[in-house]
A and B are shown apart, each in its own frame.
Chain A
Amino acid sequence: MKILVAVKEVAALDEDFEIRDDQLDVDEDFLLYDLNEWDDFSLEEAMVIKESSDTEVEVVVVSVGPERVDDVLRKCLAKGADRAIRVWDDAMEGSDSVTIGRILSAVVEKEKPDMVFAGVQSSDDAAGSTGISLAASLNWPHAAVVAGLEYKPGSNKAKITRELEGGLSQEVEIDCPSVLTIQLGINTPRYASLRGIKQAAAKPVDEISLSDLGLSDSDVGVDAALSRVRRMYIPEKGMASMIEGTPSEQAAKLAEIIREFKGE
């Protein structure tokens, strides 16, 4: 039994950043890279299933990106994933989430997992569409924003709880294999043990190229993408008014604003 977990290395913005000259992204010097927060929960969910199962479960993490992405894959290996796969080719630069979904679906065809987990969204692009694109590309059942999961390895059905707007939850039965996008808070992600981190440093990350997946340059990259970034910029800031006065006066004015807001 195998669970494939799609993970992403996300970029967090450092303060006082600068936009690149081509105005398509932030200057890389100002980016801090880490594992996408949602993916930490996806991996933990896979690990919980693995550790509570009577049968053998293999957890495989996969990511699309250049060599530096190995760091987040090793982080996943340190937390207990059995194998890590990184897919990259320079032609993939500029791929959008639909194209990434297509690449990941080729990995799924190759690995033949019983379940696929992805994060609801990535913290940098926040498109929330990679997991769903992957399911569409595979023509598999999918469920988004999964906040609870009951799944026994080998079973052809899973019971999931989806988080809806307005504090509502929805219980759904889904056929397996399927693609689930996992929501924050579904579990408590573990810290990698020191031993796990050191062992992961020595573990190999399988590198897969386009040709290994039966894809060509025309299937990926900017030209294959259905959306393209035209410009990245900092919008003009809105007005904020400072509350002037001594601390006591500021407190009185703040209380007045709160009373007004409450309609008192």
Chain B
Amino acid sequence: MTNQYLKQIVNKNYQYGFITAIESETFAPGLSEEVIRQISKLKNEPEFMLAWRLKAYQHWLTLSPPKWAHVNFPEIDYQNIIYYSAPKVKKDGPKSLEEVDPKLLETYKKLGIPLHEQGRLAGVAVDAVFDSVSVATTFKTKLAEAGVIFCSFSEAVQEHPELVEKYLGSVVPYRDNFFAALNSAVFSDGSFVYIPAGVRCPMELSTYFRINAANTGQFERTLIIADRDSHVSYLEGCTAPMRDENQLHAAVVELVALDNAEIKYSTVQNWYPGDEEGRGGIYNFVTKRGACRGKHSKISWTQIETGSAITWKYPSVILQGDHSVGEFYSVALTNHRQQADTGTKMIHMGKNTRSTIISKGISAGFGQNTYRGLVRVLPQAQGARNFTQCESLLLGDTCGAHTFPYIEVKNPTAKIEHEAYTSKIGVDQLFYCRQRGLSMEDAVCMIVNGFCKRVFNELPMEFAVEAQKLLEVSLEGSVG
């Protein structure tokens, strides 16, 4: 009976799978130096950007795709991907929302993303990225009053080249890994945030990513700099249409926190996960890293990973500043044929640095869910402290849950704790709920929600509600 119920839940459809018919400007598939020059030219980039892209490309050519992750997929033909696709716009780009293509606005409306400022309930500023370019950013003037820079990456390159040049690639250098190098060479847009010293960003910042065009890869880059004593909370959401082929999403996110600054980065990732047979879906190969450069700085990652055919992502924190804090809260759900290899890296360098890792993995159907984490304490990191807890829940007997924690300690004053467990939903727990008149579905949802509560609590309010719903949707039909 449970199995039947499981099936029902699993079979719920992906609700963001529509395609927007919109005229777009698209390159031919393939990657070469010429493509990179073209992207750079289209973006009207300064010389240093092009030079950096080309260096990254040259380095990428020397690399081969990494094989160590616990995921299986056919080799990607990198020459068969379209590296640039953008909705056709007037030469100068939209100045205000009125100029944005109404079809685009409709798309975002369908996704439930409020681009119209007046339609907003709470103060969330949104930067929307459609295929390769950013289409609209809201609440600009209000943010500008506070001195916060929040714009698309292309805009930042034009208007704040000194900041971009200083920080671009300083956390994730183009040599970092295969996908970071690829992204550095071809990234087309993304978001840029700069919070000046002493400013507490007056509202939540948010980016919505949408892949629309077929056959394209999406390569965006996010750079967030929090200057001394500042604070920012940033949200990220992603969706894509349902297509039979796999699409590549290789993003890079860099965070820099200076003295006493705090960055909170939340992701609700709901790319198209492919169908039950594992056809289609997004390959989500993302490099995310934050550097706590200053004393008492703090970076906190929260992620809800429910989409993508394959997730390959390790949001990390480099704890350079003394007394800096790194946090990682994650819920990863794999259903059908989804595969996730995700986790974090906490590199303790400064004195009295602290990190917390809470990871919850849920596997259902034929999903494979892997937690892979590294906690490294360098010799100079006096008094480092880490607490790691990773828990996995198995729903069904065809899925897998794996844990690969690496702990490397070179300082005796470090205190490192790691604990993990893997189990299925207890029959007694289910019985308890059923006995009190809950339906099987509600019982399972309640237990799963309880399992994830600790991570959901870290999300901003609006997102927490969304995440909870998302989990219910993704899980439908999968509990046993």
A, B assembled together:
no
